[in-house]
Structure formats: C-alpha cells, structure tokens
Amino acid sequence: MNRGWLTGLIAMLIGAAAIGGVGCTRRPANAPGNTSSSMAAPAPPGSASGDSGVYGFSGARVPDGDPQGVIGECIWIYDADNHNQVAKGDCIESAPGKFRVRLKPGRYVVRGPGGSKPIEVKPGGWIRIMSIVALPMSP
C-alpha cells in the first residue's frame, strides 16, 4: 500500500487540529488504544514528587492498522476558555507519538489529532491523554 498520502493527510489533520500549530509526520508506534480519551493516572516515570501535567500518545490510525505516532509538535494546551495557548507537547523521533507536558494545577483544554478535551489538573496529578484520529482507508 502506498502510504505517502497517509503521511500528508496526518500532517494536514494535525495542523488543522492545532489551529495554527505545526503539522507533524507519522511514525510507527506501539501505542495502546485507538480512540481519543483521557483519564487520571499515576505520575509517569521520571516525574518528580509534586509535578503535575499531561502525558500520553498523539497520532492517527487507519482501519485495520496500528496507531502511528507523530514527530514534532503533537499536542497543544489551551486555557480553560479554549482561547489562548499556554503550552505544547513535542513528540521526539526516538519515541513517536509520546509526549509529556508539565502544567500547573488548573483547568485546560487539550487539543490534538483526536480532537479537543477539557481537563482539570490536580496538584501532584498527571492525566493520560490518548489523542488518535481515525483516518479513512485509501480509495
């Protein structure tokens, strides 16, 4: 299957989801889940006591395919009113689709390829985000 169209489509969709963010390219990743979701979770590995924020996976999948993680800017954090960007998450080449963003406790809107999700970060708490857009199969 020619996946060149998939790379372009993922970059376009992620750029559109960010509303002005930089598009990303796809990379294979063994990421759990295939839909957008968020849930409270224990602190991710490497977190200091008292840290808080969001972490997870950002990417896309086609029917009957595994999720593909992105590289570059891959998740965007906005204020509770969903107007001003306050942070962004980067997905690095050695871990496509995986991000971790420290945030002060408070209410935010997380934007990613799977859509927008309002969250509340509690002191010392981390929220896991799985933001995966489902892409159509090629014609």
User: What pLDDT band is residue 64 in, cutting at 50, 70 and 90?
Assistant: confident
| Cα gap 2→9, rounded to integer Å | 13
CATH architecture of 4-134: Sandwich (2.60)
Question: What value does the mean pLDDT of the chain take?
Answer: 77
In this predicted structure, what is the pLDDT of residue 48? 61
> Tokens 């999700």 — which residue?
117
Position with higher pLDDT, 14 vs 52: 52
| Cα gap 89→87, rounded to integer Å | 7
**Considering the entire predicted model, what is its pTM?**
0.68
User: What is the domain partition of the chain in residue ranges?
Assistant: 4-134
Cα–Cα distances (Å) from 117 to 5, 8, 71, 110, in that order, read 27, 24, 21, 5
In this predicted structure, what is the pLDDT of residue 46? 55
User: What pLDDT band is residue 137 in, cutting at 50, 70 and 90?
Assistant: confident
pLDDT single digits (tens) 83-128? 999 999 999 999 999 999 999 999 999 999 999 999 999 999 999 9
